[in-house]
Amino acid sequence: MRGDEAVNFRRKGENRARQLPSIPQEAGVLKVEGPITYRSNTLLGWEALSGEPLFSNFPSKLPVQERIEKLKPLLNSYRLYHSLGLIVGNPDWKRIYLGAKGIFTPDPVLLNYLASPILLLPPGLLACYPPEVYSGAPLDEKGDMFFLGLIIYLLLTANIPYPLLKGWPTEALLTGKIISPTDFCPELYPDLVQQMKKLLSPDPEERPSSEELGEFWQKAQEGVDDRIREVRRPPRKFSAQGIYRNVQLKGKWGRKIVVTVGGFFFLLLLLTLFWRSGEKFNPTATVMLEEIIDRLSDPTVCGYLLPSQPEIWADLLVAKEKRWEAASLLLSYPLLEVEEVNEVRIEPNWAQLEVGLVWHLWENDRWHTRKTREMMMLEKKGSQWEIKERQKID
């Protein structure tokens, strides 16, 4: 880190430590201690807890009620932070863990100074931010609740809540087009589903507070059992006698309808027997292998979604990780940089500047650097300046 970065880093860490009291033992957000200087090294630390990264071994096979219970510590921590007037912040998705007592993560406030672990994330997750952030609003408690809703959705459904358009969730996120959680997990309690949708609402005011969500959570646990019993209710049994009695048909027309219904079921039975007597299509191993490889080759398919044992695809996972790193680098690298600026003419409400630019272009599978010089006209509107004209200089 540069000198000013190190100063800000230390100040931020010390302020956070002063603001946070002792954290409960079963906390979902772990207090980060530091920065501490030891033998010329700057160290950070947090309580050592046993757990697996959430996305390396996604807990989709856990019963729904158990998954709901696993979220309790995290919800309690958000309530604590907000009661102290603190913002939890943007989660470090690669440092969210599933432990014996529940979901936990280190306090994100200092984690952006650390190297990120190598871990594949669900496609589109890194682009999921509270919609108001896209319009320049600062992250606040309502933004925290959006991120918390995202974590809840991920844990309960093993999927992100948005359809991807060319690999990006932005359009669906900004318009509130959420995939219903019951599409992935039908046994979820209806009120819980409604609460999950509110947490991801594009309108911050529709999102519940951490206090309201905590009070609701116990109801969610109670509701899961009722919902499961409802889903598993044994099917009704139908008989010709029952049909006749329930419809209460009498006379000649009633008998005709019953006979017609009976004939229909008899015909359906014959067709079923005929279909079963035919040969079924059994795809060969060769055909299936090609189909499986085709699915695996998609760079956006994460490791926990592989259709077979992930450990036998270690080389594929490494290749996917490298592809994602390359894509991330490509997106984060600046398109152009200012090399120099010369003032040609300056007035109170407008300015003419000669600018030297360095362009970083990705062409023909490699980086190209190109320098240009431009004359730019800027106009002042209020306290802001806008570029009104650009003209290249040969």
Residues 6+ apart with CB under 8 A from 54: 96, 97, 98, 103, 154, 155
0.85 cut: is pTM over it?
Answer: no
Q: Out of 86-95, 283-292, 367-376, which region has the weakest mean confidence (pLDDT)?
A: 283-292
Judged against a pLDDT cut of 90, whether residue 208 lies above it is answered with yes
Closest CA to 105 of 70, 67, 60: 70
- Give the pLDDT score at 234: 40
Distance CA 241, CA 264 (A): 16
Domain residue spans of the chain: 3-231, 240-277, 285-332, 336-392
Q: What percent of the chain is modeled with pLDDT above 70?
A: 70
Closest CA to 33 of 13, 52, 48: 13
Distance CA 248, CA 41 (A): 86
SS3 273: helix
Higher-pLDDT residue of 310 and 49 is: 49
Structure tokens at 84: 């102290």
Say if residue 49 is exposed, middle or buried (CB neighbours under 10 Å; 0-12, 13-18, 19+): middle
Sign of the dihedral defined by the CA atoms of residues 133, 136, 140, 141, in that order: negative
Residue 249: pLDDT band with limits 50, 70, 90: very low
Distance CA 186, CA 180 (A): 10
Judged against a pLDDT cut of 90, whether residue 274 lies above it is answered with no
Closest CA to 63 of 188, 198, 159, 226: 188
pLDDT tens digits for range 56-70: 655 556 788 888 899
pLDDT tens digits for range 84-96: 999 999 999 989 9
Q: What is the three-state SS of 320-340?
A: HHHHHHHHHHHHHCCCEEEEE
Choose the CATH number for 3-231 among 3.40.50.720, 3.90.1150.10, 1.10.510.10, 3.20.20.140: 1.10.510.10
